[in-house]
């Protein structure tokens, strides 16, 4: 899901292209996209864009008359820009379509393919909204004035604007794990699964640490890591995008330290990155840097393995060495298979991963 750094760069790119332009037409392709009835979508057509704003992980486009279009991209939603001639302003050309004529002589993007959700035709070009997959979680809300925007605001503090005292007060308001607290939009604005992993790695804190048990120095370190990590990634994405429209928006980037790096080496200590899988999410962390070498229980496997689940990195490495050496150090001599317990464990792991994938596909 695009988070604060991605949304910031999206908005900056849109400001260069649509601020002051007229929104001439809104074409809705997906019947699942629009989540509000009032004000109607047609009320923004013919109106000039006056401002753009980030609301958590949402992109807000304000037009004349005080009406706002609030775009929530969710996990798989992406935006693509086409200039007046219908050419894609980026490298990937994410929207599938062809070109047609408009009454003003400009090229109109003809939408085709199941990924397309909507097209917003401005006097300066066309913004196309796509969503990969079949779950259709992306949403468009129409809001009337500042009050309408406030109704859509989850209420989280802006972490790049708040003080340490404000940050600490929100963090300790309820007793939850750090991972949950950082990603809850009611407490902190714009942070999701990817950047929370990076923040916690930078702060050298476990994702399962309870917020009300944190020392003041740990809270201060988390605050500094949050600001530094998000600021660094905003600047990094700005430099990567340049004057183009951001097309390579992804939660998995090669420069990230831990997110999406399961079993890869930690850039700080060299230990293998670990994970916690739950539902369709995955938390990545370095056990040596963040948990004192303790392996956090992975719901997908720990219930199956029970007492076989390794508790520390040393236990994990020992089990891996034992498994690797087992056929050589325990020859059967009669062609019998190795012990059933190890085979069963591997099958259980595979079954758990397959069930996880099927569950993600269904929901």
Evaluate whether 149 touches 55 at the Cβ level (below 8 Å).
Answer: yes
What pLDDT does 182 receive? Answer: 97
Can you give the pLDDT at residue 144? 97
Q: Which domains does the chain have, with CATH numbers?
A: 4-152 (3.20.190.10), 156-324 (1.10.8.50)
Q: What string of DSSP letters covers 105-137?
A: S-EEEEE-STTEEEEEEETTEEEEEEE-SS---
Query: How many angstroms separate the CA atoms of 125 and 17, rounded?
Result: 8
Encode pLDDT of 54-100 as tens digits. 999 999 999 999 999 999 999 999 999 999 876 777 544 445 544 45
Which residue ranges of the chain lie beneath pLDDT 70?
86, 90-108, 299-363
For CA atoms 316, 317, 318, 322, the dihedral sign is positive
User: What pLDDT was estimated at residue 318?
Assistant: 61
How is 255-310 classified by DSSP, letter by letter?
Answer: T-SSTT-TTSBPTTT-PBPEEEEETTEEEEE-HHHHSTTBPPP-HHHHHHHGGGS-
Q: Residue 304: phi, psi to the nearest 5? A: -80, -40
Instruction: Determine the Cα–Cα distance for residues 288 and 356; give it in Å rounded to an integer.
Output: 27
pLDDT for position 343: 35
d(CA 273, CA 271): 6
Quickly tell me which residue has 């070498």 as its tokens.
293
Q: What is the pLDDT of residue 90?
A: 58
What's this model's pTM, rounded to 2 decimal places? 0.81
E strands present in 29-83: 47-55, 58-63, 67-72, 77-83
- pLDDT score at 22: 98
Model pLDDT, residue 89: 74
């Amino acid at each position: 899901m695009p988070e604060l750094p991605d949304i910031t760069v999206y908005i900056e790119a849109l400001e260069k292209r649509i601020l002051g332009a007229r929104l001439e037409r809104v074409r809705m392709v997906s019947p699942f996209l629009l989540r509000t009835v009032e004000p109607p979508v047609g009320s923004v057509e013919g109106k000039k864009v006056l401002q753009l704003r980030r609301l958590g992980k949402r992109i807000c486009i304000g037009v004349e008359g005080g009406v706002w279009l609030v775009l929530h991209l969710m996990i798989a939603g992406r935006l693509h820009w086409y200039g007046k001639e219908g050419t894609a302003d980026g490298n990937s050309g994410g929207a599938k379509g062809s070109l047609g004529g408009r009454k003003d002589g400009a090229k109109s993007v003809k939408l085709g393919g199941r990924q397309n959700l909507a097209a917003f035709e401005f006097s300066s070009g066309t913004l196309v909204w796509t969503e990969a997959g079949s779950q259709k979680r992306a949403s468009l809300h129409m809001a009337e004035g500042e009050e309408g925007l406030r109704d859509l605001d989850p209420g989280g503090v802006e972490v790049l604007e708040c003080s340490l005292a404000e940050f600490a007060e929100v963090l300790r308001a309820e007793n939850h794990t750090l991972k949950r607290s950082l990603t809850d939009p009611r407490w902190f604005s714009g942070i999701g699964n990817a950047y929370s992993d990076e923040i916690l790695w930078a702060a050298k804190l476990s994702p399962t640490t309870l917020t009300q048990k944190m020392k003041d120095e740990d809270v201060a370190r988390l605050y500094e890591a949050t600001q530094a990590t998000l600021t660094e990634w905003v600047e990094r994405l700005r430099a990567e995008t340049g004057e183009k429209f951001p097309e390579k928006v992804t939660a998995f980037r090669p420069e990230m330290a831990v997110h999406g790096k399961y079993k890869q080496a930690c850039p700080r200590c060299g230990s293998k990155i670990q994970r916690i899988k739950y539902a369709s999410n995955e938390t990545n962390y370095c056990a040596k840097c963040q948990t004192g070498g303790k392996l956090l229980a992975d719901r997908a496997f720990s219930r199956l393995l029970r007492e076989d689940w390794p508790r520390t990195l040393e236990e994990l490495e020992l089990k891996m060495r034992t498994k690797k050496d087992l056929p050589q150090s325990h020859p059967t001599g009669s062609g019998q298979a190795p012990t059933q317990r190890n085979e069963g464990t591997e099958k259980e792991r595979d079954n758990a991963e397959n069930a996880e994938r099927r569950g993600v596909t269904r929901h």
